[in-house]
Amino acid sequence: MQKLKVGVIGTGNISSAYLNNATKFDSMEMVACADLDVDRAKAKAEEFGIRGCSVEELLADPEIGMVINLTIPQAHASVCLQALEAGKHVYVEKPFAVTREEAQAVLELAARKGLLVGSAPDTFLGGGIQTSIKLIEDGWIGTPIGATAFMMSGGHETWHPAPEFYYQKGGGPMFDMGPYYLTAMVAMLGPISRVTGMARASFPERTITSQPKFGQKIQVEVPTHVAGIIEFASGPIGTILQTFDVKGGSTLPRIEVYGSAGTLLVPDPNTFGGPIQFKRAGSHEWSEIPLVYPNTDNVRGLGAADLAKAALTGRKARPSGELAYHVLEAMHGFFDAAEQGAHYTMKSSCEKPAPFKLGLQPNSLD
């Protein structure tokens, strides 16, 4: 099959995973990378045997059919719009955009141009979440009743070399990690009808203890402890807690899904693999369920490959812009509800992404 030629914009920490994994998929060929810092782009390009250039040069290249946007969250929408204006499909890291208005502008321009836009996270395409979806759809837990999702962390300033943006507009635990949890939940249970929540910034100032910025202070601009309730259109009620304020650690599970016939302990949605635990109603023991789908290692870029395949074949993309927008709206909905002391009714919806078929080979998409 013909491969779609792809260029990366943004050569920060996550770019190496995308560039390394790109060669695993038959739907795309990585040919260039760009950055505001052209020297950094060229150094990254030399490492992976591709071309390094400026953003303007990459966007002007007529051979490049898709851009993978790995810039910081505040630049996600503007770079997506530039790429679409240049006639290229776009896959962007999470979050899809900082504001709903920015995200809507991206979707509208893509529609006008007849181009595809998609967004991370793509971990829901890994063997762990895909097997969980299969178990739910095959009735292992009976009728889904509810779900819980917990991301409990003390923050990124202890390990990340440049953690400031995690505490600026577009950051915080809900926008940083929430997309993994909400995307996985929507992939398993379907779209969300309304949410409510509460949020606060427990520590208005953070001190960086990682290198090279040890000792520098960060002024916190966003809530860092967010608790929400989710009503899914199909009936289940979910609870979500995303925090950078838990300094002493936690033993809470990442995601559990509860049904009339049993409970499913779902893998960490920030990974592609397992394990999965299942407990049937009336049983006293948990059982580990083997994964029946591949792509269980770190295959970040799987979503970009799926979008490229969709662009080449005309089928629907699994990590679609509509899914990403729905998740973004829900995240904003928690904050709207917290400010107003009310429920937030979702204005968007989306289709559940098509699950993979059994018998899928590693690094395959169909």
Q: What is the pTM of this model?
A: 0.96
pLDDT, tens digit (0-9, with 9 covering 90-100), for 184-203:
999 999 999 999 999 999 99
How would you write 113-166 as a 3-class SS string? HCCCEEECCCHHHCHHHHHHHHHHHCCCCCCEEEEEEEEECCCCCCCCCCHHHH
Q: 277 has which bridge partners?
A: 265, 288
pLDDT, tens digit (0-9, with 9 covering 90-100), for 160-186:
999 998 999 889 999 999 999 999 999
Mean pLDDT for the chain overall: 96
pLDDT, tens digit (0-9, with 9 covering 90-100), for 129-149:
999 999 999 999 999 999 999
Q: Which residues have C-beta within 8 Å of that of residue 244, sequence separation ≥ 6? A: 153, 154, 155, 156, 166, 172, 173, 224, 225
**Residue 361, pLDDT above cutoff 90:** no
Give the whole-angstrom CA distance, residue 77 versus residue 96.
7
| For residue 223, cis peptide bond before it (omega within 30 degrees of 0) | no
Q: Which amino acid is at 36?
A: L
CA 332 to chain centre: 15
User: What percent of the chain has a predicted confidence (pLDDT) above 70?
Assistant: 100
Which tokens hold the place of 9?
């914009």
Q: Specify the DSSP class assigned to residue 282.
A: T
pLDDT class for 1, splitting at 50, 70, 90? low
pLDDT at 170: 85
pLDDT, tens digit (0-9, with 9 covering 90-100), for 72-106:
999 999 999 999 999 999 999 999 999 999 999 99
C-alpha dist (Å) from residue 119 to 179, 279, 323: 10, 33, 8
Angle 15-48-307 (CA atoms, 0-180°, nearest 5)?
Answer: 50
pLDDT, tens digit (0-9, with 9 covering 90-100), for 286-314:
999 999 999 999 999 999 999 999 999 99
| For residue 253, cis peptide bond before it (omega within 30 degrees of 0) | no
Range 220-234 burial, b when 16+ CB lie within 10 A, else e: bebbbbbbbbbbbee
pLDDT at 363: 81
Which tokens hold the place of 156?
């990124």
pLDDT at 67: 98
Q: For residue 9, give the 3-state DSSP assignment.
A: strand
Give the whole-angstrom CA distance, residue 42 versus residue 266.
40
**Residue 109, pLDDT above cutoff 70:** yes
User: What percent of the chain has a predicted confidence (pLDDT) above 90?
Assistant: 96
**Residue 351, pLDDT above cutoff 80:** yes
CA 363 to chain centre: 19
Nearest to 125 by CA among 353, 361, 359, 358: 353
